[in-house]
Amino acid sequence: MDELALLTDLHAGNARQGPGGDDETRLAIRLAGLVAQTGLRIADIGCGTGASAVIFAHDLDADVIAVDALPDFLAVLEGRAARAGLSKRITTLAASMDDLPLAADSLDAIWSEGAIYNMGFENGVRAWRPFLKPGGVLAVSELTWFTADRPAEIEAYWNREYPEVGSAGATIAFLEKHGYTPISYRALPEVCWRENCFRPLEQGLRGLRRPACSRCGSA
């Protein structure tokens, strides 16, 4: 089994493929000032199986472009949208987030929960800005240090795996440098990680099994 197939098997059955939650998505929508707007066109980049995309279509009656590199995730989203009567509101797009076939100045909002790290926060912020209309909203979640007092082992791990991780202040400063005006910042509560991300992953890992032995049939 290749890595992408393994990733799909591990995540496709989960409501979300990263940290977050429906309540947090709806709160972010309110903080971004999108609730009272109509006729919105929103791109959900790295949408996975579409937990947030369904909320945009249902709560905001928005036209949603749901972007993910894994077609199997998008197939799950299409099923969810059909069951919710939202197929006309959600268009799926199988594409890499660093090579998006979107028109300039075409989006009212770009949303990316737990996904922008795949191309790097700074690269994503720069690359996606041209797609936003004047006054458009960028809403992303990003790995962030909350304190300067960190265990050495944890700091070494993240500096190796994702050197771009920084403080909230540095992240906001980068946004301002590249022409964004920060509206709001909020740390995800623990439940968004523990219950909505890690626990489903744990269950998914338990469901994965090694191939049976061709000689004896044992796992």
Kindly list the domain boundaries of the chain, sorted by start residue: 3-205
Tokens of 9: 């098997």
| Mean pLDDT computed over 73-89 | 96
Q: pLDDT (tens digit, 9 = 90+) per residue, 111-146?
A: 999 899 999 999 999 999 999 999 999 999 999 998
Instruction: List, in order, residues 6 or more apart from 189 with CB less than 8 Å away.
Output: 21, 24
| Mean pLDDT computed over 88-115 | 97
Q: Which fold has domain 3-205?
A: Rossmann fold (3.40.50)
Q: Give the pLDDT confidence score for residue 217 in this predicted structure.
A: 44
CA angle 154, 177, 164 (to 5 degrees): 20
Distance between CA atoms of 193 and 188, rounded to whole angstroms? 8
Q: pLDDT (tens digit, 9 = 90+) per residue, 148-163?
A: 899 999 999 999 999 9
Does 209 have pLDDT greater than 70?
Answer: no
The single-letter DSSP state of residue 194 is I
Task: Answer for the pair 108, 42: CB distance below 8 angstroms, yes or no.
Answer: yes
